Amino acid sequence: MALDEAKLHELVIKMVGDMGAAAIAPLVVVGDRLGLYRALADNGPLSAAALADHTDTTERYVREWCAAQASSGYIGYDAKNDTFDMTPEQQAVFSNPDSPTYMIGGFYAICSMCIDEPKVTHVFRSGEGLPWGDHHECLFCGTEKFFRPGYKSNLVAQWLPALEGVVDKLQKGAKVADVGCGHGASTLVMAEAFPRSTFIGFDFHEASIDRANKLAAEARLSNVRFETATAKHFPGKDYDLIAFFDCLHDMGDPVGAAAHTRQALKPDGTMMLVEPFAHDDLADNLNPIGRMFFSFSTMICTPASISQEVGLALGAQAGEKRLREVATEAGFGSFRRATETPFNLILEAKP
C-alpha cells in the first residue's frame, strides 16, 4: 500500500511535538528541584545569568534550560532585553504549589516511568506484576505533588458537600478512614478542615506512611494519624466515612477492599471513591486526558494490581459502570456519581 505523503507528514510533525514534550519532562523536575521556576516567578524578568545567581546554579546550564522552557511555552522570552519571565498562568502551573492547576508532580511521575521502563518491559513478557513500592522514588513524591493541589481546591469545597449528609457529620465529629492514603495529602486536608473529627490514613507502603506521619507532625494536627495496613485488613469499625482517593483501581482485589469497607462502616456510613475521570466505552476515552491516564495505567496502575492477590487490574480508566459493579459485588446497596471534574469521578456508595 502506497504511503499518503500528507498523512505521513502530519504524523511526523506530531511525533516531533511528542518527542519535545517527553524530553522536557526531566527538565521540569530539574527546574522544580533547583527553584528555577520559583526564582523566575518571584524576581523576573531575569537574564539567564541573573537567574543562575538567584539559584546558586551555573549560567551556561541555566541558559540552555531557559531556552528549552521558552520553546515549550512554559516561560516567556524577551529578545530585545535577553530576559526570561513567567506570566500569571505559567506561574499557576509551574511555580505555585497552592494553585489548583499546579502540574509539576506529573513530571516527577513521568521520570519514574522512564527509569522503570526495563521493569515494565519484563512484566509485559512474564505476565508478572510490578509492586508499587518497587518503582523509583520519584513516583511517590510526584504522586503527592500531583494530587495535593486538586484535593486542596476541591475536596472540602465541592466533593465532600456532594456526599449525602457527610459534611454535617464531619462538623459535629466523625470517624474517618482514608485508605491508600500515600503521603496523606487528602487526609491532612480533611483533618485541618474538620478539627472535631478524627482521621486515620492507611497505606501498605511503609515509606509513604512514614512520610505522612512526618507531614502530620509538621502541620501540628492532633486529630490525624497514619498506620501501615492493607485495604482488605485495615483495623477499626463504625466509621462514618471511608475514602479511597485515586487508588482503588490500583488494588489487586478492589472488591475485597470494598467488602471490608462495607463491614467497617456504620449502617449509615459512606464509602467515597475518587477515581480518574473516564467514560464507560473505550472509544470515548481516546482523547488527551485518556492518553495521559492510559499511559500511567500501563506503566504503574495495572502492574501494581497484577502484583497483588486476585490482580483484577481495573486500570486507571475503569469508568463508573465498572466501579459500580465492584461496589455492588462488595454488597453496597446504593451507588451514585456525586460530582465530577474534568480529571475526576467522585462516587458515593452506601450500605
CATH label of the domain that carries residue 265: 3.40.50.150
Which residue from 15, 125, 28, 10 is spatially nearest to 73, judged by alpha carbons?
28
- Position 127 scores a pLDDT of 96
Shared-domain flag, residues 163 and 239? yes
Q: How much is the average pLDDT of 63-91?
A: 98
In this structure, the answer to whether residues 215 and 328 fall within a common structural domain is: yes
- Which pLDDT band, with edges at 50, 70 and 90, does 261 fall under? very high
Of 10, 25, 14, 123, the closest CA to residue 69 belongs to 25
Q: Per the structure, how many domains does the chain have? A: 2
Q: What is the residue range of 198's domain?
A: 148-350
Mean local confidence (pLDDT), 203-212: 96
180 and 87 assigned to the same domain: no
Average pLDDT over residues 67-94: 98
- Residues 151-201 have pLDDT tens digits of 999 999 999 999 999 999 999 999 999 999 999 999 999 999 999 999 999
Strands (E) in the chain, as ranges, are: 76-78, 83-85, 175-179, 198-203, 224-228, 239-245, 265-276, 334-340, 344-350
Mean pLDDT over each residue of the chain, to the nearest integer: 96
Residue-wise pLDDT tens digits, 146-158: 999 999 999 999 9
Handedness of CA 162, 165, 171, 173 (dihedral sign): negative
Picking from 285, 287, 269, the residue whose alpha carbon sits closest to that of residue 350 is 269
**Burial of 281 per CB tally in 10 Å (0-12, 13-18, 19+):** exposed
Indicate the pTM of the whole model. 0.93
Q: Tell me the C-alpha distance between 248 and 236, whole Å.
A: 19
Using the predicted structure, report yes or no on whether residue 65 has a pLDDT greater than 90: yes
Q: Does a structural domain hold residue 23?
A: yes
pLDDT confidence band for 35 (50 / 70 / 90): very high
Mean pLDDT computed over 38-61: 98
Q: Are residues 240 and 336 in the same domain?
A: yes
Average pLDDT on 110-137 reads: 96
Residue 19's identity, in one-letter code, is M
pLDDT at 2: 87
pLDDT for the residue 180: 97
- pLDDT of 55 over the 90 cut: yes
